[in-house]
Chain A
Amino acid sequence: MIFLTRRSTFSASHYYWNDGWTAEENERVFGRCANRNGHGHNYTLEVTVVGEPDAVTGFVVDLKWLKDVIEREVLAAFDHRHLNLEVPEFAAGKLIPTSENIAIAAWKRMEPAVLGAGGARLSRVRLYETPEIFAEYRGEK
């Protein structure tokens, strides 16, 4: 088995807010991230797929194909967007766009395309919100 990782970057804005809570509660739990005017990050997305190298090409997957999947399914929706206002998963009353939830959303957006291609499967999505803060999803329930 070979694990292959493609790294991409995107820039987006967001804020953290739970509509079920009071403003004070949101500010206590989320701190500066609860500022409703939003703030932004330069995110780094690492997508890892796992599989056996093809006997003919030697590839687990064609990196150009994987790059296209990431760009089409994730970057086109997230890059230079306000995640709360422009990405359906993070609309008011839905998921809070934390790094954990962004990693999970990216996984779910890519999974059909990766599974549909046969061969490799997603192994890990890691999202860096800063170089020192990141979240990871491995498809576990």
Chain B
Amino acid sequence: MSAVGTERAYFGRRVGLSASHRLHSNALSVEENQVAYGKCNNPHGHGHNYVVEVLVGGAVDPETGMVVNLAALDGVLRAKVLERFDHANLNLDPLFLNQVPTTENLCIAVFELLKDAMPVGELEYVRVEETENNFFEYYGE
């Protein structure tokens, strides 16, 4: 193979997950929760088709031309994120027992679940899109 291929590049993957949640803080009164969260505080929750986007940075392997193998990355996303959150109620996940499952907090949770699980390279960011119009990014900062 060519000697070229030591560049650092990034590989991105987007996957969908559907989950329900209710935004409700135990630190707030009933009225305060309604003021803070509006419809998102409705007692029985609601759901979204979330899109999780991850970007992995690393050296391009000269043998494969890849930063990371898609099948390996998909395996990690499935095991760490989709099996945990897809078609689940986020409020019932242990991570959200004491934390409101806003998309900000979901984004941070997904980053933390993935950061040490990359098959190769480093997790650059996690983006979670709650709808087509709202999305959140976390770079581990």
A binds B: yes
**A132, B13: Cβ atoms closer than 8 Å:** yes
Question: Which of A31, A131, A136 is close to B9, meaning CB atoms less than 8 Å apart?
Answer: A136
Report the bound CA distance from A20 to B67 in whole Å.
19
Tally of chain A residues near chain B (CB < 8 A): 30
**A100, B11: Cβ atoms closer than 8 Å:** yes
Report the bound CA distance from A98 to B64 in whole Å.
8
Closest to A94 in B: B2
A7 at the interface (CB under 8 A from B): no
**Chain B contacts of A30 at CB under 8 A?**
64
| B residues lining the A interface (CB < 8 Å) | 1-2, 4-15, 55, 60, 63-67, 69-71
- A137 in contact with B13 given A96-B65, A100-B67, A101-B65 (CB within 8 Å): no
A95 at the interface (CB under 8 A from B): yes
Report the bound CA distance from A19 to B62 in whole Å.
12
| A residues lining the B interface (CB < 8 Å) | 16, 18-21, 29-31, 93-101, 103-104, 126, 131-138, 140-141
- A95 in contact with B69 given A104-B7, A132-B14, A135-B11 (CB within 8 Å): no
**A141, B12: Cβ atoms closer than 8 Å:** no
**Chain A contacts of B67 at CB under 8 A?**
100, 135
- A101 in contact with B60 given A19-B1, A94-B2 (CB within 8 Å): yes
8 smallest CB-CB distances across A and B, nearest first, come from A96-B65, A98-B65, A136-B10, A140-B8, A132-B14, A134-B12, A100-B9, A101-B65
**Chain B contacts of A98 at CB under 8 A?**
60, 64-66
Report the bound CA distance from A98 to B10 in whole Å.
12
Closest to B71 in A: A31
**Chain A contacts of B70 at CB under 8 A?**
133
**B14, A138: Cβ atoms closer than 8 Å:** no
